[in-house]
Amino acid sequence: DKAGHKHFMAKEIAEQPVVLANALSAYLSGDSLILPEPGLDFTKVERLVMVACGTAYYACLTAKYWFERLARLPVEVDIASEFRYREPPVTKGTVALFVSQSGETADTLAALRYCAGKADTIVSVVNVETSSIARESDLALPIHAGVEIGVASTKAFTCQLNVLFLLALEAARVRGTLDAHEIAQLIGSLRAMPGLFNAALAVDPALDQAARKIAPARDVLFLGRGYMYPLALEGALKLKEISYIHAEAYASGELKHGPIALIDKDVPVVVFAPKDSLFDKTVSNMQEVMARGGKVVLVTDAAGAASAGADAWQTVVLPTVDERLAPLLYALPAQLIAYHAAVAKGTDVDQPRNLAKSVTVE
Ligand code: M6R
């Protein structure tokens, strides 16, 4: 049932405020995290290894920034199909964490089995609670996204981010890298996120307009720095898989190490840049793009638009958010740009060619 939407993907994007609010109430009691049994004691954790595929991998990449910055915990992130065949050393003191919507992705499951008996604890972050990955974990953390039907993962991504952020906060609390006041503040910001999601969904007409401009392009570049880099990767993946437009993402700082050679008037560049601590650096990369005739869709907040929006091809203004939580909020425009570009091109949004919802083969 598409609940009045044209596609499951549109429905699943629109559901995010409600789904996230539910997920928050499942995990939080006041400012304390509620974990399913047997819980996880971060005092003993020396290293976190996170493994996943596709969108779930980008959730892990985002979480690396959180665990490192907030909890000062060393983190490694890898793609399951690389990790499993590389046979990396997994030493004591390691928590191995696997993220999967379906819980059945063959490479992720094989990577989990490789770590079993080597890592101290196997943790999974899953949507399907009865899945193989959940069953074979010491601790399975449900994301509470509800059934996701569209092949392009949307609400599962934001709900994965939510659980990973809460885990990073818990690690920070136990390791004493954030004090109670800072944690309460961040939880307050997270609790405000469903409301900000609604505000972001209201920006849909501007995103639709941007997507229609992008739709005729053959190639699109996505740029972001810091927390916005994994999100740029996610935006590019979404666009490729449902609109079949070739899209690539780069960390903004890498632009001049190669990809800037691609820039001309025919390659739209989507820049995710809230006015955070790295904003000025991203803007100077954006100006390098515009100086070469590149057309920029700038996704930012009011302060960012006021200081750098004037020369962009199009500026999309999102609500202001704590920069540490920006990946959750900016996921919505990334999804909506891809969705509207696919609709404009008339592709099969929910069942894109060559793709399956759950990749159970290697
Ligand atoms: O079920 P999983 O989360 O393990 O699936 C991983 C990827 O196959 C999945 O995220 C894929 O990249 C999506 N189609 C992205 O939208």
Give tens-digit pLDDT for 46-101: 999 999 999 999 999 999 999 999 999 999 999 999 999 999 999 999 999 999 99
- The continuous run of DSSP H or E covering 317 comes out as strand 314-318
Pocket test for ligand 1, best of 104, 359, 361 (most atoms within 8 A of CB): 359
**pLDDT value, residue 361:** 85
Rounded mean pLDDT, 231-258: 96
Mention every residue, 6+ apart, whose C-beta is less than 8 A from residue 253.
225, 281, 285
**Residue 299 pLDDT level (bands cut at 50, 70, 90):** very high
Indicate whether 115 pLDDT > 80: yes
Compute the distance from residue 89 Cα to the ligand 1 centre, in Å: 26
Q: What residue owns the CA closest to ligand 1's atom 11?
A: 54
- Tell me the residue type at 347: T
**pLDDT value, residue 322:** 97
Q: Each residue of 3-45: pLDDT tens digit? A: 999 999 999 999 999 999 999 999 999 999 999 999 999 999 9
**pLDDT value, residue 309:** 77
Q: Each residue of 168-191: pLDDT tens digit? A: 999 999 999 999 999 999 999 999
Indicate whether 281 pLDDT > 90: yes
Indicate whether 215 pLDDT > 80: yes
**Which residues does residue 316 pair with via DSSP β-bridges, in sequence order?**
299
Calpha distance 154→8 (Å, rounded): 10
Calpha distance 205→188 (Å, rounded): 29
Query: In the predicted model, what is the mean pLDDT of the chain?
Result: 96
Rounded mean pLDDT, 338-349: 96
Mention every residue, 6+ apart, whose C-beta is less than 8 A from residue 361.
106
**pLDDT value, residue 312:** 94
**pLDDT value, residue 362:** 82
With a 6 Å cutoff on the Cβ, whether 132 touches ligand 1 is no
Mention every residue, 6+ apart, whose C-beta is less than 8 A from residue 310.
none
pTM of the model: 0.97
**pLDDT value, residue 22:** 98
- Contact by Cβ (8 Å): 339, 10: yes
**Residue 202 pLDDT level (bands cut at 50, 70, 90):** very high
- Contact by Cβ (8 Å): 74, 48: yes
Percent of the chain beyond pLDDT 70?
A: 100
**pLDDT value, residue 310:** 84
**Residue 358 pLDDT level (bands cut at 50, 70, 90):** confident
For 334, the token pair is: 């990334």
With a 6 Å cutoff on the Cβ, whether 285 touches ligand 1 is no
Beta pairing class for 28-29 and 32-33: antiparallel
For 176, the token pair is: 């004493």
With a 6 Å cutoff on the Cβ, whether 154 touches ligand 1 is no
With a 6 Å cutoff on the Cβ, whether 53 touches ligand 1 is yes
Mention every residue, 6+ apart, whose C-beta is less than 8 A from residue 106.
359, 360, 361, 362
Q: Which strands make up the sheet holding 75-79, listed edge to edge? A: 75-79, 47-52, 94-100, 121-126, 139-142
Calpha distance 215→196 (Å, rounded): 27
CA nearest to 315, candidates 270, 276, 282: 270
Sign of the four-CA dihedral 206, 208, 209, 210: positive
- Tell me the residue type at 139: L
With a 6 Å cutoff on the Cβ, whether 252 touches ligand 1 is no
Indicate whether 112 pLDDT > 80: yes
Q: Which residue among 118, 240, 281, 357 is the active-site one?
A: 357
Compute the distance from residue 143 Cα to the ligand 1 centre, in Å: 14
Q: Each residue of 345-356: pLDDT tens digit? A: 999 999 998 998
Sign of the four-CA dihedral 80, 111, 334, 33: negative
- Contact by Cβ (8 Å): 99, 124: yes
CB atoms within 10 A of CB 141: 24
**pLDDT value, residue 57:** 98
For 84, the token pair is: 């499993």
Specify the higher pLDDT residue, 225 or 359.
Answer: 225
